[in-house]
Structure 1
Amino acid sequence: MQSDARKPSRKGRSRRLGIAANAPQNSAFLGPRRIGAYNLLDEESLVRIEAQADWLLRDIGVEFRGDDVACDLFRAAGADVQGARVRFESGMARQLCATAPAQFTLHARDPRYTVQLGGDHLVLMPGYGSPFVTDLDRGRRYSTREDFHNFVKLTYMTPWLHHSGGTICEPVDIPVNKRHLDMVYAHLRLSAKPFMGAVTSPERAADSITMAQLVFGQHFMDHNCVMQGNINVNSPFIYDATMSGALRVYAAANQCVAISPAIFGGAMGPVSPAAIAAQTLAEAMAGIALSQLVRPGCPVVFGSFHSTMNLKSGALTFGTPEANLVTMVLSQLGARLGVPVRSGGGQITAANSADGQAMQDSSDAMWATLLSGTNQVWHAAGWLEGGLTMSYEKFIMDCDHCGMMLRLLGGMAVHDEALPEAPYHEVDVGENFLSTTHTIKHFATCNYQPEIAEAGAYEIWLEKGALTAEQRANQRWKDMLANYEEPAMNPDIDAALSEFIARRKDSMPDAWY
């Protein structure tokens, strides 16, 4: 990483990028967390899981289909490469992963939103990859560019999400081969938080890198991480040329690759939580190893997208105890591997509406995620239908819950102001403390103030229209969008981005699949 002495100053870079001073506030809690991670497994159990992962890499192996460059890199490093199948002697993959940083800085366009990934730090981001959106007014429908813009704006405005995300929802009204340009531009222009680029082809990954370089400068990006790419493993044990090619593009540019095996017990792996954890570790280590062969020291995140299935129907289930156990163990395994961890949890659910099931599934998954000690939480807001749909109302409800969880993880202050004596002298025994100097001083900040939860009397609730939490959230997202203010950007940079997008779009015909 570039030393502080060589980095451009925050003030100087903000001026160059055209950042305004009135940006929305980020969360008061960005870590380090005050509630420690819960270690589910003991040393003996963790060693057994790691041994299983080594066995899988040695005897089963991982295929890098259609990527001769990746296979050549592994062969040169000493791996056993037969066709597209790569096998590693015990301990080799872990050794190749050793050059990945345990913690790194993810720089934002506005330095006030820059975050740390790794250690005790926690970064929350919205849902990812949904082709549909839903709200109480228009119902479920295919998402559009407008929806994508709306969720980028909402994510920028909430203090409880630290990262703009990636494909928050799929804008299906833009050709497939061109929509990455619009999505990356939206993250860069409508937000100033960290973001993710495209991974649906190596060329689209390269476009994302180029657009970021127009904003941050190539020299800055050569020495600093400003974006991430989500590399999904085709579990079990396959990296296709699209994913491994995109991985190599991001790694070569010194940008973060998040390696995310996707294992659903009974489909892409065995049903037991321990087996899912071991297979996830094996598949992830292969991808992390490739990133380090491309560029030693490239920042990575050990990710996962795992869950259980209803083995009677084949339907995916989320927030289940078995999946949550895997979430907790993967954070332990990631810490031992020495890299930041992206949780497989978040506020995820298979429910079709923002109802009681949705919030119960989401709360269960989020609790396990946060207690695990993970560093980055995807799908922290908006997720419905197993990821098929982004809900405007659930996004708001989830953000409210994120604020509560962050307040909890921020811990309890124990100092003179938190243990006052004066209030006890201001009131007599049996009297309340509402009017004491201490209460007046702290009443506005002492408790987390939820925006959606209703704590009033039943009669007052009726007078206000007996609105449900989902209905209150409906009005909240509309109010937020009405009050959105676009973050400033240097006009020359904006013009360069627009010119690049126009030129790239003109260079290719529309493709809708």
Structure 2
Amino acid sequence: FDPDMVLETVAHAPSEFILHGRRPERDLRIGGDWVTYASVASAPNYVDLDGVRRTGDRVGYQDFLRLGHMLNSVHTFAGYPVEPVDLHASIRHLEAAYDAHTLTDKSFHVYSLGRQRNLDGIEMARISRGVDHDAFEREPSITSIINASSPLRYDHPMLEGIIQMSARNQVIIITPFTLAGAMAPITLAGALVQQNAEALAGLAFTQVVRKGAPAMYGGFTSNVDMRSGAPAFGTPEYAKACLVGGQLARRYGVPYRSSAVSASNSVDAQAGYETVWALWGAIMGGANFVMHGAGWMEGGLHAGYDKMVVDADLLHMVSAFLEPLDTSDDALAVDAIAGVGPAGHFFGEAHTQARYQTEFYGPMVSDWRNWETWTDAGRPDARTRANTIARSILAEYEAPPIDDAIRSELRDFVDRRVSEGGVDTDF
């Protein structure tokens, strides 16, 4: 084992690249000082708008796509927000990708669950963008998460995913799933040592396949509840791991992936503070790509429409927080301060009047009215307000434009592959 060789190999990965959407307006710059937010991904269950917990199905999956498409703080779909289990596994990747490429124009994801699924997903992404093979290889357009089978192992489907995706210059997000005390040492430092070793191995392999192929250093180190063995998220340990992971990614000069996650079973205070704590660790760690940014619940066991809206508002707040402070002469307001003078107020001052409609972040979910100004409708909590907003957004959804010829080519590709049986399964 030659550590210098590993670092020299990883150094070929770009520090920044463009992830292309179906339309140029959806292109995302990954790396540097840029932050991209992805929706929740891969949940097996979801909670619908009536509060009923359901096994993932295509109807729910499609509505998550619609909701995420309409929420501006959801930049990309890095996986199925909820798994459409009612689609047989042999053809699920085909129908799910068709939905994603027609219900939204944001970039999508390929699950590395076998060579043919990768090839199908890559070709559908190319068709949806309406470009030839050469242009597609020049322009990364789709992502795939590669998880190490911690400890210290990559299985065949994951390695096959790297081979197929990196060979076509598409984006690989290497993410060891190192839970301290379970799949990694119980000490946080030990778990991070293992995370780093697994991440570097995966990153190096992407560059062995193709020098310069885009890849990200992902961290998903957290701890488990040692009383039950259940994963814990949004913990102090998770936030610390996010900070260290970001420093390591910058050391190796590659973009950094983290997550905004929670172990809470409902949209309650726990869901709020755990998500904020996880997101704070990710952002302060310098994450360039925040997975599960909107809608993640129950340690990933379900996705929620209400939670997606609450999280989207939180992501907007983070974006506003990251905007540099305006220190222009007008913003410094020296003349306004002098004009109002001692013991005055600024409500009616011209400087306030010129700015009051746009100066502050306007929350989507928060209700800032005090006791006396609540309406006769009662005192709805954040989840109730988010539910109302989600219903409104879905009612107002409009599908993005797509060329009829591209839609037809996508449909023909799916129908042909379905008629061929999709991919082999053992059931």
TM-score (norm 2): 0.96
Letter in 1 for 2:137: D
Which has the higher mean CA deviation after the structures are superposed, 422-431 or 469-478? 422-431
RMSD: 1.6
- Separation in 2 of the partners of 1:372 and 1:425? 41
Confirm or deny: 8 A CA contact 1:461 1:467 kept in the other structure: no
- Separation in 2 of the partners of 1:390 and 1:328? 26
- Separation in 1 of the partners of 2:369 and 2:51? 29
Letter in 2 for 1:253: R
2:219 aligned with 1:304: yes
1:307-361 superposed Cα distances (whole Å, 9 cap, x missing partner): 1011122121111111211111010000011110101x31x11111011111111
Tell me the CA shift for residue 234 of structure 1.
0.6
Confirm or deny: 8 A CA contact 2:78 2:144 kept in the other structure: no
Tell me the CA shift for residue 278 of structure 1.
1.4
Partner of 1:123: 36
Partner of 1:98: 11
Confirm or deny: 8 A CA contact 2:171 2:213 kept in the other structure: yes
Letter in 2 for 1:485: E
Secondary structure in structure 2 of the residue aligned to 1:271: coil
Partner of 2:252: 337
Partner of 1:161: 74
- Separation in 2 of the partners of 1:461 and 1:272? 49
Tell me the CA shift for residue 378 of structure 1.
0.4
Partner of 2:347: 434
- The list of structure 1 runs, each at least 4 consecutive aligned residues, that deviate by more than 6 angstroms after superposition, is none
1:460-494 superposed Cα distances (whole Å, 9 cap, x missing partner): 33523211110111110010011111110111111
- Separation in 1 of the partners of 2:176 and 2:81? 19
2:54 aligned with 1:141: yes
Question: Which 5+ residue runs of structure 1 have no aligned equivalent?
Answer: 1-87
Letter in 1 for 2:147: N
2:113 aligned with 1:203: no
2:296 aligned with 1:386: no
Tell me the CA shift for residue 441 of structure 1.
2.1
2:231 aligned with 1:316: yes
1:131-156 superposed Cα distances (whole Å, 9 cap, x missing partner): 10003514111121111111111111
Letter in 2 for 1:378: M
2:391 aligned with 1:478: yes
Question: Which 5+ residue runs of structure 2 have no aligned equivalent?
Answer: none
Partner of 2:405: 492
Secondary structure in structure 2 of the residue aligned to 1:380: strand
Which has the higher mean CA deviation after the structures are superposed, 180-189 or 333-342? 180-189
2:197 aligned with 1:282: yes
TM-score (norm 1): 0.80
Q: How does 1:64-103 map to 2 (within 5 A)?
A: 88-103=1-16
- Separation in 1 of the partners of 2:206 and 2:238? 27
Secondary structure in structure 2 of the residue aligned to 1:117: strand
Tell me the CA shift for residue 511 of structure 1.
5.4
- Separation in 1 of the partners of 2:365 and 2:93? 33
Letter in 2 for 1:172: V
Q: Which one of the candidate residues 258, 273, 280 is aligned to 2:173?
A: 258
- Separation in 2 of the partners of 1:240 and 1:454? 48
1:234-271 superposed Cα distances (whole Å, 9 cap, x missing partner): 11111111111111110111101111110111111101
Secondary structure in structure 2 of the residue aligned to 1:418: helix
- Separation in 2 of the partners of 1:230 and 1:479? 32
Tell me the CA shift for residue 433 of structure 1.
1.6
Instruction: Give the percent of matched residue pairs that are identical in Structure 1 and Structure 2.
Output: 34
Partner of 2:359: 446
1:19-46 superposed Cα distances (whole Å, 9 cap, x missing partner): xxxxxxxxxxxxxxxxxxxxxxxxxxxx
Tell me the CA shift for residue 182 of structure 1.
1.9
Letter in 2 for 1:151: F
1:360-416 superposed Cα distances (whole Å, 9 cap, x missing partner): 111111111111111100011111110000011111111111111110011211112
Tell me the CA shift for residue 428 of structure 1.
5.0
Partner of 1:65: none
Partner of 1:20: none
1:180-201 superposed Cα distances (whole Å, 9 cap, x missing partner): 1122222221111222123221
- Separation in 1 of the partners of 2:98 and 2:329? 48
2:350 aligned with 1:350: no
